[in-house]
């Protein structure tokens, strides 16, 4: 039965993932089947960045699972098919703390930049800035898979240590987000005036 899946993927030029006895069960090898036989088959492997990394010959007996279609494969295929549009020279990274980053917020908000915000202790969040002021900023959270993950409000203090937009990772997230949402951003304005502590 696994042979049938492999032959079908070869004929249809379909991206698949396989699990073999030599890797962990929760890991997978992704690529296109380029040749099939009775005992062996060849895959042109693709990495998580959507790039070809070379052909590998596998024994059919070593294959534990063949996955011809899932959400992650669709992500990789979108990235692979559009890899020529990515430009590493566009990346902007700024290492400043808290309110020293305020001058960048106007641009990333007005241009709907998918931005990675870095916090202390190697934490980060990814999203689109919906609103900001001198004390807080609000983002629409975007996952690495391009899916929306709700809205969050963060205090603009020294725990925020930098930001990055238009890096290769952000370009790929933008591509996936565009496919999922067609850039129909929800620019809900949030009034921060009620959230400030009033001095008695």
- Helix (H) / strand (E) containing 30: strand 29-36
Regarding predicted confidence, which is higher, 80 or 115?
Answer: 115
| Both tokens assigned to 166 | 């238009």
Contact 76, 30 (CB under 8 A): yes
**Domain residue limits, the chain:** 2-85, 88-181
Measured CA to CA, the distance from residue 7 to residue 97 in angstroms comes to 55
The predicted structure's pLDDT at residue 182: 60
Domains 2-85 and 88-181 share a fold: yes
The predicted structure's pLDDT at residue 170: 95
Banded model confidence at residue 185, pLDDT cuts 50, 70, 90: very low
Measured CA to CA, the distance from residue 193 to residue 195 in angstroms comes to 6
| Both tokens assigned to 128 | 């689109």
Contact 48, 59 (CB under 8 A): no
Banded model confidence at residue 189, pLDDT cuts 50, 70, 90: very low
- The domain made up of 88-181 is a member of CATH 2.30.30.100: yes
Helix ranges (DSSP H) in the chain? 2-12, 71-81, 102-110, 168-181
The predicted structure's pLDDT at residue 27: 85
Query: Helices then strands (H, E): number in the chain?
Result: 4, 11
**Number of other residues whose CB lies within 10 A of the CB of residue 35:** 13
Measured CA to CA, the distance from residue 135 to residue 92 in angstroms comes to 23
Tens-place pLDDT, residues 133-181: 999 999 999 999 999 999 999 999 999 999 999 999 999 999 999 887 7
Please state which CATH class domain 2-85 belongs to. Answer: mainly beta
Tens-place pLDDT, residues 23-80: 887 789 999 999 999 899 999 999 988 889 999 999 999 999 998 877 888 888 888 8
């Amino acid at each position: 039965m696994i042979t049938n899946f492999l032959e079908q993927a070869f004929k249809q030029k379909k991206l698949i993932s396989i699990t073999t006895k030599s890797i962990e069960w929760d890991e997978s090898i992704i690529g296109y089947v380029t040749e099939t036989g009775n005992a062996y088959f060849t895959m042109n492997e693709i990495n998580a960045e959507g790039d070809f990394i070379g052909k590998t010959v596998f024994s059919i007996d070593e294959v534990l699972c063949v996955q011809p279609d899932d959400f992650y494969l669709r992500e990789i295929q979108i990235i692979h098919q559009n890899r020529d549009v990515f430009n590493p020279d566009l990346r902007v990274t700024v290492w400043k703390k808290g309110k020293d980053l305020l001058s960048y917020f106007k641009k990333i908000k007005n241009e709907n930049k998918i931005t990675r915000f870095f916090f202390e202790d190697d934490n980060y969040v990814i999203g689109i800035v919906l609103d900001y002021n001198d004390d807080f900023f609000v983002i629409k959270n975007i996952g690495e898979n391009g899916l929306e993950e709700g809205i969050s409000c963060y205090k603009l203090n020294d725990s925020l240590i930098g930001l990055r937009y238009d890096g290769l990772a952000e370009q790929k997230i933008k591509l996936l987000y565009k496919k999922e949402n067609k850039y129909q951003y929800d620019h809900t304005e949030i009034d921060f005036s009620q959230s400030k502590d009033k001095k008695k």
